[in-house]
Amino acid sequence: MNKISIPKPDYDSPLVKLIFELEHQRDRNVEGSTPPWLFFDLKEILQRLESLTSARIEGNRTTLLSVVENIIEGNEVTDNEELLELKNIEEAIHFIEDNVAESAINRSFICELHKMTTKDLKREGSKTPGQYRKENVKIEKSNHAPPDYTQIDNLMGELVDFINEDSEPHQHLLKIAIVHHRMAAIHPFDNGNGRTVRLITYAMLSKYGFIDDKGFRLLNPSAIFCIDRQEHYDMLERADTGTAEGLLDWCFFMLKGMSEEVKKIDKLLDRVFSEKNIILPALELSLEKKQINDNEYEVLRTGMKKYIFQAKDVQHIFPIGPSRAVQVSRLLARMKSQKLIMHHPNYKLKYVIKFSNNYLLRGVIQQMAEHKLLPVALES
């Protein structure tokens, strides 16, 4: 393999324009139009989509609808290997968010992610979870021959050094793309390489500020590779040539996908768009299907309009009388137990609405699909 380095694109190339565009996204704060309850619910949904799309690239045939139903029913994942694979990826994403800011992306970090993604899996597991392979392997649907297992330690050592060496901010996106390709080409594990590589991409995007769990920058990097898997494989093979042209073509493919995903997320995080096209239609659909009743619908409508609400904001639902306060209290308690609303973390007697793990999720996902905001089809 050639020595790993960052290729230099022409200044007036489309790739450089993409870099400028995405750099602007990193520095931009879009918090203003989005209420926190909406952001964190969207974040939870998008993380599940990240897990699903990453697994689907590897051949996992779990449908989005089955994931949604499993979330709503609150089923514990036990003997369903495909759902367990998604759970593993989701837990690995949480591990990244909890640790990447203070940790180097080193051998220990990479191997921990591999161990987490292959945990308790049989078909998609590993004989040596968390350890580099001790045998030679082949990559399905690729003409690329991974290096001999005796070279893995040296090649991954070089890659880890490259990841952690200082680089200029304008090089970060190219660096992430090059690391993604190089690790995929090395194929350091006996199985689970694709999932681990995409998690490292997520980690680097987080470390460099393109994904921010504290703010309002979100991205599903796996969606880039899931929409057209054949093009994904073709572009990886272009990069396998080791030429500057092939590597730059791969970088353009990856960053173009990132740009398209950012535009989707921007729509979701726009208050007017999300309320009009996602949340309100989801509420109306749930009412129509009798998943919620008229009173619950009115509470949720109030919550959508006010963002933070309390009992007095919904007391108009019931007739004036001595039992009104009790009726309101019981209604809110029931909706809280159904996970339709939750207490605001900073205000004990105030609420926000929630849709990421209840019946409303069906309508939200359906509306996202209608507006072409999902990386996978609902039933494919």
* 315-365 pLDDT, tens digit each: 999 999 999 999 999 999 999 999 999 998 888 899 999 888 788 888 888
Identify whether residues 173 and 301 lie together within a single domain.
no
Identify whether residues 167 and 252 lie together within a single domain.
yes
pLDDT band at 249 (very low <50, low <70, confident <90, very high): very high
How much is the pLDDT for 380?
53
Last residue of a domain, one of 268, 293, 324: 268
Asked if the model's pLDDT at residue 217 lies above 80, the reply is: no
**Structural contact between residues 63 and 380, judged by C-beta atoms closer than 8 angstroms:** yes
Mean pLDDT score of the chain:
88
How much is the pLDDT for 28?
66
The whole-angstrom separation of Cα 192 and Cα 286 is 39
Identify whether residues 52 and 105 lie together within a single domain.
yes
**Domain-located, residue 308:** yes
Pairing outcome for strands 347-353 and 341-344: antiparallel
Identify whether residues 160 and 239 lie together within a single domain.
yes
Last residue of a domain, one of 249, 268, 287: 268
**Structural contact between residues 146 and 137, judged by C-beta atoms closer than 8 angstroms:** yes
**Domain-located, residue 15:** no
**Domain-located, residue 234:** yes
Q: Which residues does 147 contact at the CB level (< 8 Å), separation at least 6?
A: 1, 155, 186, 187
Could you report the per-residue pLDDT of 143-159, keeping only the tens digit for each?
Answer: 888 999 999 999 999 99
**Domain-located, residue 225:** yes
**Domain-located, residue 4:** no
**Domain-located, residue 379:** no
**Domain-located, residue 380:** no
Give the range among 61-70, 179-188, 259-268 with minimum mean pLDDT. Answer: 61-70
Identify whether residues 89 and 200 lie together within a single domain.
yes
Provide the domain limits for residue 317: 271-370
The whole-angstrom separation of Cα 82 and Cα 50 is 15
- Domain of residue 304, CATH code: 1.10.10.10
Identify whether residues 184 and 310 lie together within a single domain.
no
Identify whether residues 132 and 167 lie together within a single domain.
yes
Identify whether residues 171 and 51 lie together within a single domain.
yes
How much is the pLDDT for 59?
72
Q: How many structural domains is the chain composed of?
A: 2
**Domain-located, residue 21:** no
Identify whether residues 256 and 181 lie together within a single domain.
yes
Identify whether residues 297 and 358 lie together within a single domain.
yes
- Domain of residue 141, CATH code: 1.10.3290.10
Last residue of a domain, one of 229, 250, 268: 268
The whole-angstrom separation of Cα 353 and Cα 300 is 6
Could you report the per-residue pLDDT of 69-108, keeping only the tens digit for each?
Answer: 777 776 666 668 888 898 899 999 999 989 998 999 999 9
Identify whether residues 100 and 53 lie together within a single domain.
yes
Identify whether residues 202 and 298 lie together within a single domain.
no
The whole-angstrom separation of Cα 170 and Cα 181 is 19
